[in-house]
A and B are shown apart, each in its own frame.
Chain A
Amino acid sequence: MDKLLEFLSFQDPNVRTVTFGTIFLGMSASTVGTFAFLRKRSLVGDAVAHSILPGIAIAFMLFHTKNPFVLMGGALLSGWLAMLLIEHLSKATKLKPDTAIGLVLSVFFGIGILLLTSIQHSGAGNQAGLDQFLFGKAASMTRNDLIAYGIVALILLITVILFFKEFKLLSFNPDFAEASGLPVKRLQFILSTITVLAIAIGIQSVGVVLMAALLITPAATARPWTERLVVMMVLAGIAGGLSGLVGSYISFAAPNMPTGPWIVMCLSFLALFSLFLAPRRGVLARIRQQRQNRRKILSENLLKSFYHLREHNPETLAFSRGEILEKRAFSEVEYKTALRHLRRHFYLIPEGSNWRLSEKGYEEAKRVVRLHRLWEMYLTERMRLKADHIHPNAETMEHIITPEIEEQLLRELGYPETDPHQSPIPYPKH
């Protein structure tokens, strides 16, 4: 707890730089990653992240320096090479794209590990601290590193803002972009380059193994909350920045702990949260929708039973529970749920121990019966189904048909009087 307070007070200037640095790196990786996510290039992102390792190792072996620009140069080159190779392999050979991606990933990563091991055995590894590139260690970054990476992150964000509309079109419909005469090849080159760069700086805090998570998960987390690309990118940036904060705290509180796994834990938590709670697309929203659908079906079925009873006994208005259940088999719970719903909306009105349809309820019941009989008409007239086959299908459709479809059915069928079983089709009172 004390540690957390100390951390959050940001009194140590070193803590301050590392924290703001990693937040910034997380934000830029997730913003750029949004395009990778929308272009369905998640796997390529993963392969490129792994392929960066040999580039970093070779740059270090050649120049014997940890200068961030030198290492980033190596990272950029090998990341690019991997991307070109994936593209070329799936075009020139009969390999499926996912095979090409897997192949490039494992070969590059294998070479990277090999080089890293040999660097460490040569004794230069510890002072180089290259192992941090595997799983990330936010705190091991120096102030100078952070300034360098911060500058790159800034350039990435500016590029995204400058080319925002072109990248949007490129992600949605690249063929149209090309047909419109946009320099698609060059735009793709720029987008790929900033993606590789975002990966190269992101691995400082996450490491190559888990980098794809920082690139893709924030976008996936943000997607269900908005239908606007700008908002989606901002939300993804916030998710990425937040996990950067968590990572740098871990680095600070437990100096021997790699930060990557913790950052990814935080991201996964946010993604799960989003998966469950997001409006409309979330699991909870879906469950709620399904429950609403079920209740709608039950209530409409109960209304229909009332209508049928009244159709057969025109002079009676109120019916008992027994009469209803005789007409249609509701379970105890179903009957109660439907009844509660209909009563609350005043479709049904109590009369002693019986229930009767209100004026509003009668019109609603007529609507359901009308849809059922109209659909049966449609099935026999247009799809040429036999009259004894159509009832089950109409049982479902009557709950689904919207007013617009009803309108169209009525027009196409010419406002029929009766259904195929010669039951009258009830129309609304005018």
Chain B
Amino acid sequence: MEINTPALEVHNLTASYNRKPVLWDIDFQLPQGQLIGIVGPNGSGKTTLLKNIMGLMEPDSGYVNMFGQKLDDVRERVSYVPQRESVDWDFPASVLEVVQMGRYRKNNLFKRLTARDHEIATQSLEKVNMLEYARRQISQLSGGQQQRVFIARSLAQQADLYLMDEPFVGVDAATEESILKLLTEMRQEGKTVIIVHHDLQTAYEYFDWIVLLNTRLVAAGPKDDVFTSNLLQEAYGGRLTVLSRIGDLIAKKDFPLRESDFKEKEGQGDG
């Protein structure tokens, strides 16, 4: 399916850890202005996909475009919310300090934040209903509060495209509802919000578009096209034993993974 200036285009992306591929040939495009879920069971490579999209990992092959451009040209329009467990929350900082980190940019290196930055940070905190915790130490927050701090930090970046890794994990029902309401409002303002989510039960209800992922791309599209029992079975059913065994083999035997390497081998094989 061709989309006009997709918010996100992932093209033939393969990624691996220690040479063991965990994403194979992922290829999809996502439209602007939608609430989109990247859905798949635990260990299916959702976090890895986000890391590759955000340039935190070097893919073995393939590329990523946002708004038809390279990430480096649209940095300020894109915001990333890492998985909550990816940081040590026992860090000496207050809630407000963390939210202000959303205002750290290349153009204010070793400068102090401006009054406008402080204003935006405070407003972002208000949007997630955490203003009363502004001075609280982050080591004293509950899981749901930590998630909201991370979301507020992302809001402070005032982006057009948001990529959030499991923002509903460790969150109570009331908070989940309020976060979802916030995300829906963001979509109404024309923002594109991409959420990594592992819970099938709620995925259909929450998102407009869904990317079903399990080591490879199972399906991507409007939710009604994607939520068919066949595709769900494919994503959540049996483990992809063949694929994971090949992955093990590649890691063990040190097979080359980069595309250029593959081409060389092909040439030799044919000749």
Q: Which residues of A contact B (CB under 8 A)?
A: 38, 40, 94, 162-163, 165-166, 168-169, 171-173, 175-183, 223, 226-229, 231-232
Answer yes or no: B265 CB below 8 A from chain A CBs: no
Q: Are A94 and B104 in contact (CB under 8 A)?
A: no
Number of A-B contacts (CB under 8 A): 83
Partner of A179, one of B56, B106, B112, B137: B56
A227 and B82 form a contact (CB under 8 A): no
User: Which residues of B26-72 are within 8 A (CB) of A?
Assistant: 51, 54-56, 72
The answer to whether B104 touches A180, judged by C-beta atoms less than 8 angstroms apart, is: yes
Whether B104 and A227, one on each chain, are in contact in the complex, defined by CB atoms closer than 8 angstroms, is no
CB <8 Å contact, B110 and A180: no
Cβ A169 vs Cβ B104 within 8 A: yes
Q: Which residues of B contact A183 (CB under 8 A)?
A: 106, 109
Q: Is B168 an interface residue (CB 8 A)?
A: no
Pick the contact of A181: B51, B75, B101, B137 (CB < 8 A).
B75
Selecting from B1-9, B90-98, B198-206, the interface stretch reads B90-98
Q: Which residues of A contact B153 (CB under 8 A)?
A: 176
- Point out residues on B near A: beta carbons under 8 Å: 18, 51, 54-56, 72, 75-76, 78-80, 82, 86-88, 91-94, 97-98, 101-102, 104-106, 109-110, 112-113, 137, 139, 153, 157
Residue contact A173 to B104, C-beta cutoff 8 Å: no
Contact A165 B104 (CB under 8 A): yes
A94, A166, A172, A182: residue with the most chain B Cβ atoms closer than 10 Å? A172
For the complex, what is the distance from the CA of A84 to the CA of B28, rounded to whole Å?
A: 37
Assuming the contacts A94-B18, A172-B98, A176-B80, asked whether A182 and B91 have C-beta atoms less than 8 A apart, the reply is: no
Given contacts A163-B110, A176-B80, A181-B76, contact A229 B93 (CB under 8 A): yes
Would you list the 8 A-B pairs with minimal beta carbon distance, nearest first? Answer: A181-B75, A179-B80, A227-B137, A162-B110, A179-B54, A229-B92, A173-B87, A169-B101
**Do A179 and B55 have beta carbons less than 8 Å apart?**
yes
- Cβ contacts under 8 Å, A40 to chain B: 88
Determine how close the nearest CB of chain B comes to the CB of A36; give it in whole angstroms: 14
A163 and B112 CA atoms in complex are apart in Å by 10
CA distance A382 to B98 in the complex (A): 36
Residue of A nearest to B72 (CB): A181
Q: In the bound complex, do residue A168 and residue B87 qualify as a contact, i.e. CB atoms below 8 Å apart?
A: no
Query: Which of A169, A226, A232 has the largest number of chain B CB atoms within 10 A?
Result: A169
Bound state CA distance, A106 and B249, in angstroms? 34
Q: Which residues in B have their C-beta under 8 angstroms from that of A168?
A: 93, 97, 101
Q: Can you spell out 14 A-B residue pairs with CB atoms less than 8 angstroms apart? A: A40-B88, A162-B110, A163-B109, A172-B87, A172-B101, A173-B87, A175-B51, A176-B80, A176-B101, A181-B75, A182-B106, A227-B94, A228-B92, A232-B92
